[in-house]
């Protein structure tokens, strides 16, 4: 799976960007990374999100333990990889029918959070038990909701391209193609939103700290992030908002 979002929609942490480097390109310009993904994954599907970017997925060359799914509902798009272990519980919790798959569950969890949920966002992600990574985009709000499970079971990477746009993929080579060394594994046990940035759903009361990486040649790479157990922050729960409000600005 692959998603590239314009920097106005999803701005990655500054520590992920190592600065000017010849390896980074503009992932969105002339469809560069979308075309590269299609060449690597013939038969893949690309969803054009207009000025916000694009999402793409393929069911070819996938790990049978971590299948890829795509779902769309009410202009909310979700690419999901992996599986949810407590799927029956979540279907009941969100009032879904028996045929609902993981992608639909994530969309419904997001919609509940956005429209009427009094729960903090970290609790919504923490309730999803299993091995997964997902990328969700809400076109009505131009908002993203992205997460990886607590163990980082599914390979998942992100990076910043030459124009500051953010790239997410399950293939490290794809991310490196667009971002060069301004890339890293997506932090396990964390979620990212357009206005809330990167946060831990395992330790929502704690700040995250960046840990710089170097490659085999000693050159700096995009930072990884881990929970700073010494630094606490105030917890701000999700406020109930009407459908016209930007829910993501409230946490």
Torsion of CA 108, 109, 110, 113, to 10 degrees: 120
* Buried-exposed string 19-54: b where 16+ CB fall within 10 A, e elsewhere: eeeeebbebbeeebbbebbbebbeebebbebeebbb
Domain of 67, in residue numbers:
2-198
Does position 217 have pLDDT exceeding 50, yes or no? Answer: yes
* Burial (CB count <10 Å: 0-12, 13-18, 19+), residue 96: middle
- Neighbouring C-beta atoms of residue 137, cutoff 10 Å: 27
Q: Supply 151's token pair.
A: 């163990």
Alpha carbon separation from 22 to 161, 172, 176, 182, 206 (Å, rounded): 11, 18, 12, 11, 36
- The phi and psi torsions of 191 (rounded to 5 degrees) equal -135, 155
Residue 216 lies in a domain: no
Q: Supply 106's token pair.
A: 């994530």
pLDDT number for residue 63: 82
Average pLDDT, integer, range 149-169 = 95
Q: Which residue has the higher pLDDT, 71 or 230?
A: 71
CA-only gyration radius of the chain, Å: 17
Residue 39 lies in a domain: yes
pLDDT number for residue 241: 44
Residue 205 lies in a domain: no
CATH, residue 124: 3.60.20.10
Residue 207 lies in a domain: no
Number of domains in the chain: 1
Write the CB contacts of 59 (distance below 8 Å, at least 6 apart in sequence).
67, 68
Distance CA 154, CA 90 (A): 20
Helix (H, G, I), strand (E, B) or coil at 30: helix
Average pLDDT, integer, range 27-53 = 93
0.75 exceeded by pTM: yes
Please spell the DSSP secondary structure of 184-205, one letter per residue: EEPPTTEEEETTTEEEESSSTT
- Neighbouring C-beta atoms of residue 63, cutoff 10 Å: 12
Residue whose structure tokens are 């009032």? 95
Residue 110 lies in a domain: yes
Residue whose structure tokens are 């710089």? 212
Residue 208 lies in a domain: no
pLDDT-derived band at 61, boundaries 50, 70, 90: confident
Q: Give the model confidence (pLDDT) of 11-25 as tens digits.
A: 999 999 987 777 778
Please spell the DSSP secondary structure of 57-108, one letter per residue: E-STT--TTS-EEEEEETTEEEEEEEEETTHHHHHHHTT--TT--HHHHHHH
């Amino acid at each position: 799976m692959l998603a590239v979002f314009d920097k106005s929609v999803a701005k990655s942490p500054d520590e992920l960007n190592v600065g000017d480097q010849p390896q980074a390109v503009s992932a969105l310009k002339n469809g560069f990374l979308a075309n590269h993904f299609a060449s690597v994954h013939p038969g893949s599907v690309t969803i054009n999100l207009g000025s916000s970017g694009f999402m793409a997925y393929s069911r070819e060359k996938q790990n049978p333990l971590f299948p890829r799914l795509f779902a769309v509902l009410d202009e909310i798009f979700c690419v999901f990889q992996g599986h949810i272990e407590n799927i029956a519980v979540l279907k009941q919790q969100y009032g879904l029918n028996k045929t609902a798959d993981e992608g639909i569950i994530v969309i419904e969890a997001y919609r509940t959070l956005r429209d009427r949920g009094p729960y903090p966002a970290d609790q919504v992600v923490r309730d999803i038990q299993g091995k997964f990574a997902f990328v969700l985009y809400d076109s009505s709000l131009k908002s993203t909701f992205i997460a990886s499970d607590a163990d980082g079971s599914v390979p998942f990477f992100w990076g910043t391209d030459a124009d500051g746009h953010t790239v997410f993929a399950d293939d490290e080579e794809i991310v490196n193609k667009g971002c060069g060394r301004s890339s890293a594994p997506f932090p396990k046990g964390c979620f990212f939103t357009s206005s809330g940035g990167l946060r831990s759903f395992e330790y929502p009361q704690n700040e995250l700290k960046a840990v710089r990486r170097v490659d085999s040649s000693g050159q700096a790479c995009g930072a990884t992030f881990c929970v700073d157990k010494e630094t606490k922050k105030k917890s701000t729960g999700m406020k109930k908002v009407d459908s016209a409000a930007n829910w993501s600005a409230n946490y």
